[in-house]
Chain A
Amino acid sequence: MSLLAKFAAVEEARRGLGEADPTRTVIERLESPTLGVINGAPTILAGTNNYLGMTFDAQAVAAGRDALTQAGTGTTGSRMANGTYAAHVALEAELADFYGYPAAVVFSTGYAANLGALSALLGAGDAVLLDADAHASLFDGCRLCPADVYTFRHNDPESLDKRLRRLGARAQNALVVVEGLYGVLGDRAPLADIAAVKDRHGACLLVDEAHSLGVVGAEGRGVVEEAGIMDQVDFVVGTFSKSLGTMGGFCASRHEEVALFPYASRPYMFTASPSPATIACTRAALRTLRTRPELKARLWRNANRLHQGLSQLGVDLGEAASPVMSVRLQRREDALAAWNGLLAEGVYVNLFLPPAAPGGGSMLRMSVSAAHTDDQLDRIVAALAKVMRALGALA
Chain B
Amino acid sequence: MDSPLELELRELLAGITALPPDFTADTDLLDALALESAQIMEFVMEVEDRFDIIIDQRQLAEVRNIAHLAAVVGKAVA
Chain A residues with CB under 8 Å of chain B are 132, 142, 148-153, 159, 162-163, 166-167, 354-355, 358-360
Is A148's CB under 8 angstroms from B58's CB? yes
11 contacts between A and B (CB under 8 A): A132-B45, A148-B57, A148-B58, A150-B55, A150-B56, A151-B41, A151-B57, A153-B45, A163-B48, A166-B53, A355-B38
In the complex, A142 Cα to B57 Cα: how many Å? 10
Min Cβ gap B78→A in Å is: 14
Is A151's CB under 8 angstroms from B56's CB? no
Which residues of chain A are near B42, meaning CB under 8 Å?
A: 132
Is A151's CB under 8 angstroms from B38's CB? no
In the complex, A229 Cα to B38 Cα: how many Å? 30
> Which listed residue (B36, B45, B52) contacts A151, Cβ 8 A?
B45
Is B57's CB under 8 angstroms from A360's CB? no
Which residues of chain B are near A151, meaning CB under 8 Å?
A: 41, 44-45, 57
In the complex, A255 Cα to B48 Cα: how many Å? 33
Is A355's CB under 8 angstroms from B37's CB? yes
Min Cβ gap B50→A in Å is: 12
Is A150's CB under 8 angstroms from B37's CB? no
Is A162's CB under 8 angstroms from B49's CB? yes
Min Cβ gap B47→A in Å is: 12
> Which listed residue (A150, A152, A162, A358) contacts B38, Cβ 8 A?
A358
Which residues of chain A are near B37, meaning CB under 8 Å?
A: 355
Is A167's CB under 8 angstroms from B54's CB? yes
* Given contacts A354-B36, A355-B36, A355-B37, A166 and B45 within 8 Å (CB-CB): no
Is B38's CB under 8 angstroms from A148's CB? no
Min Cβ gap A358→B in Å is: 7
Which residues of chain B are near A152, meaning CB under 8 Å?
A: 45
In the complex, A142 Cα to B48 Cα: how many Å? 20
In the complex, A293 Cα to B44 Cα: how many Å? 44
In the complex, A132 Cα to B37 Cα: how many Å? 10
In the complex, A359 Cα to B42 Cα: how many Å? 10
Is B36's CB under 8 angstroms from A150's CB? no
Q: A152-B45, A167-B54, A360-B36 provided; 9 other pairs, C-beta below 8 A?
A: A132-B38, A132-B45, A142-B57, A150-B56, A151-B44, A166-B53, A354-B36, A355-B37, A358-B38
Is A132's CB under 8 angstroms from B41's CB? yes
Those of B37-71 within 8 Å (CB) of chain A: 37-38, 41-42, 44-45, 48-49, 52-58
Min Cβ gap B75→A in Å is: 14
Which residues of chain A are near B54, meaning CB under 8 Å?
A: 150, 163, 166-167
* Given contacts A355-B36, A358-B38, A149 and B45 within 8 Å (CB-CB): no
Which residues of chain B are near A359, meaning CB under 8 Å?
A: 38
Is B57's CB under 8 angstroms from A150's CB? yes
Which residues of chain A are near B49, meaning CB under 8 Å?
A: 159, 162
Is B58's CB under 8 angstroms from A149's CB? yes
In the complex, A224 Cα to B74 Cα: how many Å? 40
> Which listed residue (B38, B44, B58) contacts A360, Cβ 8 A?
B38
In the complex, A152 Cα to B48 Cα: how many Å? 10
Is B52's CB under 8 angstroms from A148's CB? no
Chain B residue at smallest Cβ distance from A133: B38
Which residues of chain B are near A360, meaning CB under 8 Å?
A: 36, 38
* Given contacts A132-B45, A159-B45, A355-B36, A149 and B57 within 8 Å (CB-CB): yes
In the complex, A163 Cα to B58 Cα: how many Å? 16
Which residues of chain B are near A167, meaning CB under 8 Å?
A: 54
Which residues of chain A are near B36, meaning CB under 8 Å?
A: 354-355, 360
Which residues of chain A are near B44, meaning CB under 8 Å?
A: 151
Closest 10 A-B residue pairs measured CB to CB?
A355-B36, A148-B56, A149-B57, A166-B54, A163-B54, A132-B41, A151-B41, A150-B54, A355-B38, A355-B37
In the complex, A166 Cα to B55 Cα: how many Å? 10
Which residues of chain A are near B45, meaning CB under 8 Å?
A: 132, 151-153, 159
In the complex, A159 Cα to B54 Cα: how many Å? 11
Which residues of chain B are near A162, meaning CB under 8 Å?
A: 49, 52
Is B57's CB under 8 angstroms from A166's CB? no
